[in-house]
Structure 1
């Protein structure tokens, strides 16, 4: 199937910069006719005779009509993004001008590119594997330092390198085992089983580490939702305003002021937190609107990755401890951060002594902003869970995660086969399964439909 795809021989064009008014717009052309297609509109020079990786200033003209003054950048394949001849035309950022240039290029024989087609061609030309191609889309969509670092690490081949080394070692052993099958009558072993056992054990550890990283990777890619809950008038809206450094939520002394959930995003140390300010949880309210708000609060609390439960340090100890016990019993797997608010009315030391039964509580004054930085760090710690850095190989893609699960299961099968001293033909079968799932991740084994689905999620000009 890939052979059929790799036979593409047409020339494509698309706007590579975001649509709309700007200083410049970049129009990308890729394919065997790129230089000729643009050259017919660029009378200043014969582009086909110019060196690769050069810039040329001149007017684009269609017949006698001048389209725009542009800068033309030339990249001859295979030393280009797609591996083909690529031309990038930098024109003025008027949507009208950009459209005129694109239409002129279409009339010269190019066609409009599909979503992600430039990167798809780069993959088919061997400029990158599928994990690197998908990381391009992740980098474009990144909105925090952590997500950008993770995508760049994958684009540079960090994830691919680990998989490639494992695949090459498995292929080597598979070849030796297959050779044994050719000499089955001779009762010989070409593959060192003890060495293979060490390889499989090491590979299982590597795959398990990658699988474990998906929890962090999912947070880095999609952000983490944090529900701020507690009794009415505990200071939830004040805390939201303090974290955002703006008056996003209405604050008053009247209990039940917040009737519905308010959601905002906050970047802390490169991690995106989706903060959800909820209506105060008061179970016996007679206000119908407030009752609806309480129901939504409980729903958001169930959906959140982390729950910040706020209580007033002047509340009774039994009341707070009882509520804590109820929440833990209801969902012991939920990650909670217990926050005692209003230490401006009671000293932090006194609050700690009073609520000694919650030793991991953070005591703050949301109104005065005291100890809010400590709360931010606690949120980051809840996400990282001991991972002190986010620049290594971290799995952020659900497709990769599910394929790695299959790789892990195949390795476990090989491991058991070695323990049970299975014959070479059965070991070879398990190895082929493992190689298949590794190939699905990097794109060495794929289908046209799967590629079309993956690249359809890219923007048009990439």
Structure 2
């Protein structure tokens, strides 16, 4: 990425996705953005039109006419980037887009680097660094919950909390430095225990924030849900019912599924990565054995396990032992599914496995009866984490989490110094380091390397 001070150029990029479509948006930002577009725009004089207006016309270089367009004009500093800014809406034919981009570049614009529009917005004070990261997070979000969390960050909620925490640290540092000024007079402005208490509160606030990252990561990456059970209990039929399509081959022949099938689905706004696995049983078949081996691997890495049980069969000791042994070895959350309820007796399943103290849902994967109850039970397994964080701000950036952890480490050092009777001058150093690190979240103390690393991960045009 170019130096962050090298913003004399006017940049141009396609803001919408590549490929054919109805409309494409080309954006320009920089002091010459309006004049560059105006030089090839056949319509009103864009230099003379009011800000925040849209105008119809044609793009032509005098030799060729490229398209009919709508041009949106924004004047600095009241634009996304804080600079003169233009958006050109044209037909989304790749040839048209390329030709118009080439015309703008010939007239003096340069192709933007990844994230350069948002970087300019940050440097021009249109948003802080946490909001800039939220722009990228919204685009990458894979669930409605992920979008909600990123929108809250874009609206400045994380920045508000960080500013409050930094102000608390500034207040504490101020008290300590006042105390240092009066150290020769043996006056104690504030008691150590009060300082420790305020630092502990700040540490708790930061720990609450950064602990939400694991939940955000889970939502963003998807909840891994494995469907397991003995052969021919209806696992693949259940997968097809959840997906609403015949994705997996089903058969009365045990061992039909030899390898795991992976599919994604969104339930209640949360992305689930569903894995239909090979049936669990003892087998001499080399291929089936490998499938079972992989099933056990998927069990160990899944967040939720659906243990499917055939309620149409008698639950003998061998079947009970297999389910019990498997469930007891699972570290994730387990939901028992008494399948084939349309022809079986789910009550016998409840009786056989009640001692496992796991939630159980009765359903028929064949007819779909009980599917809604199954979906409710699945999402309820996330209730603990969901209730803890659903009304709270969720940190979605690994960088932000790491900054908070580093800040907590400095505060812990400051607390330890206070508790051990150390000098206030050492406490002050730790607190100032904590302030400096925490400022990286909103960008107040972010270095050029940090900015380049963040914005290089953006897509071009954003």
TM-score, normalization: structure 2? 0.92
Quick check: 1:317–1:355 contact (8 Å CA) kept in 2?
no
Residue in structure 2 matched with residue 78 of structure 1 by the alignment: 77
Q: May I ask how many residue pairs the two structures share in their alignment? A: 459
Residue in structure 2 matched with residue 132 of structure 1 by the alignment: 131
**1:384/1:134 Cα in 2 relative to 1: closer, same or farther (>3 Å)?**
farther
Deviation by residue 1:81-140 (Cα, 9 ceiling, x = unmatched): 111111101112111111111111111111001111111111111212222111111111
Deviation, structure 1 residue 362: 2.4
RMSD value over aligned CA atoms?
2.3
Matches within 5 A, 1:152-301: 152-190=151-189, 196-283=195-282, 285-301=283-299
d(CA) in 1 for partners of 2:383 and 2:214? 9
d(CA) in 2 for partners of 1:259 and 1:226? 18
Residue 43 of structure 2 aligns to a residue whose secondary structure is coil
Comparing 193-202 and 303-312, the one that deviates more? 193-202
Residue in structure 2 matched with residue 395 of structure 1 by the alignment: 395
Residue 355 of structure 1 aligns to a residue whose secondary structure is helix
Matches within 5 A, 1:86-105: 86-105=85-104
Comparing 63-72 and 14-23, the one that deviates more? 63-72
d(CA) in 2 for partners of 1:16 and 1:97? 15
Segments of structure 1 that go 5 or more residues without pairing to the other structure are none
Residue 132 of structure 2 aligns to a residue whose secondary structure is helix
Quick check: 1:173–1:191 contact (8 Å CA) kept in 2?
no
Quick check: 2:315–2:348 contact (8 Å CA) kept in 1?
no
Comparing 35-44 and 225-234, the one that deviates more? 35-44
Residue 60 of structure 2 aligns to a residue whose secondary structure is strand
Residue in structure 1 matched with residue 460 of structure 2 by the alignment: 460
**1:391/1:6 Cα in 2 relative to 1: closer, same or farther (>3 Å)?**
farther
Deviation by residue 1:131-168 (Cα, 9 ceiling, x = unmatched): 21111111112232211111101100111111111012
d(CA) in 1 for partners of 2:324 and 2:411? 42
Is 2:330 the counterpart of 1:347?
no
d(CA) in 1 for partners of 2:377 and 2:459? 36
**1:384/1:218 Cα in 2 relative to 1: closer, same or farther (>3 Å)?**
farther
**1:124/1:50 Cα in 2 relative to 1: closer, same or farther (>3 Å)?**
same
Residue in structure 2 matched with residue 302 of structure 1 by the alignment: 300
**1:391/1:138 Cα in 2 relative to 1: closer, same or farther (>3 Å)?**
farther
d(CA) in 2 for partners of 1:299 and 1:438? 39
Residue in structure 2 matched with residue 425 of structure 1 by the alignment: 425
Comparing 33-42 and 308-317, the one that deviates more? 308-317
Runs of 4 or more off by more than 6 Å in structure 1?
A: none
Residue 83 of structure 1 aligns to a residue whose secondary structure is coil
**1:190/1:104 Cα in 2 relative to 1: closer, same or farther (>3 Å)?**
farther
d(CA) in 2 for partners of 1:425 and 1:25? 59
Deviation, structure 1 residue 78: 1.7
Deviation, structure 1 residue 267: 0.7
**1:187/1:328 Cα in 2 relative to 1: closer, same or farther (>3 Å)?**
farther
Residue in structure 1 matched with residue 376 of structure 2 by the alignment: 377
Deviation, structure 1 residue 329: 4.8
